[in-house]
Amino acid sequence: MNTKLYVGNLSFDTTENDLQDLFATFGPVTEVNLITDRSTGRSRGFAFVTMATPEGAKAAIEGMAGKSMNGRNITVNEARPREERGDSFGGRPRGPRRQYSRY
């Protein structure tokens, strides 16, 4: 069973290949997803790494505790499910507003 890990406090220079290589030492890595800014394409400083086994995920969490990568102490935890976000427009339906003519 795959286990997704949250990896935080990453250097903006960190690449998906860096994370793949680092976490592969703890077990097989299924996927690496480095989160980037949409407009600039620059890393946002965190990623999700999916480990193939729960044992590999546990070893990665314990093995990376307090470790430094590219000059920053990174954080590794089991990822939590994404919370549902409410409507950002206060309940109004999204989309263009209709303009009604008086005539």
Q: What residue spans define the domains of the chain?
A: 3-78
Query: What per-residue confidence (pLDDT) applies to 2?
Result: 92
pTM of the predicted protein model: 0.77
Distance set, CA 95 to CA 84, 89, 91, 98, 101 (Å): 20, 11, 12, 9, 19
User: Is residue 91 predicted with pLDDT exceeding 60?
Assistant: no
CATH class of 3-78: alpha beta
What percent of the chain is modeled with pLDDT above 70?
83
The answer to whether residues 69 and 11 touch, using CB atoms and an 8 Å cutoff, is: yes
Reading the block at residue 18, the tokens are 């860096």
Give me the chain's average pLDDT, please.
Answer: 87
Query: What per-residue confidence (pLDDT) applies to 64?
Result: 92
CA 40 distance to own-chain centroid: 17
Query: What per-residue confidence (pLDDT) applies to 73?
Result: 94
